[in-house]
A and B are shown apart, each in its own frame.
Chain A
Amino acid sequence: MLRSISPLFSSPLARIRALKALIWLGACLPLLRLLVLAVTDDLGANPVEFIERFTGTWALVFLLLSLSITPLRLWAGLSWLIAVRRLLGLWMFAYACVHVLSYLWLDYSFDWPDIGHDIVKHPYVLVGASAFLLTLPLAATSSQRAIRALKQRWKRLHQLVYVIAVLALLHYWWLVKKDVTEPVIYSLLFAGLMLARWWLTFERRR
């Protein structure tokens, strides 16, 4: 079985294509599930909260996935993995957009004075809003053309992703009422990825 499909992955390009297809599938399935649940009225008693939590969590998952590419490349020597990082980052952005839209529209019906009040008065909303704003320049400069045009500055700019990750995790910690189990799990994953990255670059330099 494996041998019969292995020619598919024989070339780096085929491998990248296959992985990209897998990412598209993995990213569309949660959205599809959300849509089905919405249509069948199965989002629970508080559907807006469900959508906000769901899309926020998936944005965080894709953020962590995109941050896992570099450690994976260094550790497993899979340098071609870099080709899928942008896709993961853009899916993080897509989920973040749906997250923010569900907050602005479904939760607050675009009531801007109320939204302004909520952002200014509640630290977790302010931190979340900041994280989202910081994703905008990254998404805007994700094209090949932007990478070429910005050269070294592109790398500096895209290091903002670490700030975004910290803000997103803080957003999660602060919104939880008392049981911090889930934010702890995501924070540990993030810390693990950062540690692995630091250790692997250190090893390579030695």
Chain B
Amino acid sequence: TAALAARKTTYGQDEKLTSYEDITSYNNYYEFGTGKADPAREAVLFKPAPWTIKVEGAIKQPKTLDIEQLIKLAPLEERIYRMRCVEGWSMVIPWIGLPLKALIDWAQPTGDAKYIEFVSHNDPRHMPGARLPVLDWPYVEGLRMDEAMQPLAILAVGLYGKVLPNQNGAPVRLVVPWKYGFKGAKAISTIRFVEKMPTTTWVKAGPREYGFYANVNPQVDHPRWTQSSEKRIGAGLFAGRIKTRMFNGYDEVGQLYAGMDLKKNF
């Protein structure tokens, strides 16, 4: 994969990075299969270029842009973020990307835009997992407008100083570090500004298990997995678990949810 230059930032400076090998071989990307090793194997032939993203909905006028245009909207930055999966494991990933806000400013949404919806690429011919009715394709994720404007939310186009590997969501994916990993829609093909809260893929698949907000919250247990602690990938066989922090440790997002019952709005 090609190198990708980016400005360093102070995010996650003290964190020990998960290895490139682990980040690119242990993936949840059901379009390429439900096994963790499937995406690395099945996404080899996937073509992330050329790529056009449709931007539509509640905006002055629908637009499209390609990756070259996208990465010119703002300087690329390296952001070292913790990624907490709803399954109880976590990684530390040096993403390269740009603030989602840069795209929103460029798109000029109207006053009707209350939410933003991300639709992933859906191509059963080249995505073997998308041929199976495991999830309701295409994969849809969403954020409330103020969440999307939060400076931590980025569109990632690379990691570890390189162009984003296919299995990690090439050419462009969402990264929202205070939410569970599944919020990070991969291979985004459409970005839609909408008035109503989108019905996201995992909410559709299991409304009792997955919520729209999906904020990392050690107090709200998943029916299957403990959310009060997590296993750090790459820490070794005997490392044990570490305590999961509210909002995955990104306390600055707390004000987005002032007055909200986060147990109900999980």
Contact = CB atoms under 8 A, between A and B. Distances in A.
A175 interface: yes
Contacts of A87: none
Chain B at the A interface: SS class: loop
A179 B238 contact: no
- Residue from A44, A118, A121, A177 with most neighbouring chain B CB atoms (10 Å): A177
Contact of A122 (B21, B87, B223, B233): B223
Interface stretch (B29-37, B66-74, B247-255): B29-37
B37 A44 contact: yes
Contacts of B237: 38, 43, 47-48, 106
A124 B241 contact: no
B134 interface: yes
Contact of B25 (A45, A118, A121): A45
A46 B89 contact: yes
Interface string A166-190: 0000000011011100000000000
Nearest to B24: A45
B135 interface: yes
A33 interface: no
A203 interface: no
A93 B234 CA distance: 30
B223 A123 contact: yes
A86 to B, nearest CB: 32
Nearest to B238: A106
Nearest to B227: A121
Interface in B115-138: 132, 134-135
Nearest to B221: A121
A17 to B, nearest CB: 37
Interface residues of A, number: 25
B34 A178 contact: yes
Interface in B210-252: 221, 223-226, 228-229, 231, 233-234, 236-238, 240-241
Interface in B1-59: 21-22, 25-26, 30, 34, 36-37
Interface of A: 38, 43-49, 106-109, 111, 114, 117-118, 121-124, 174-175, 177-179
Closest 8 pairs between A and B when the two form their complex, measured CB to CB: A45-B26, A179-B34, A109-B240, A45-B22, A45-B233, A118-B226, A179-B134, A178-B134
24 contacts: A38-B237, A44-B36, A45-B36, A45-B233, A46-B89, A46-B233, A47-B236, A49-B231, A107-B231, A107-B241, A108-B240, A114-B226, A114-B228, A121-B226, A122-B223, A122-B225, A123-B223, A124-B224, A174-B224, A177-B224, A178-B135, A178-B205, A179-B30, A179-B34
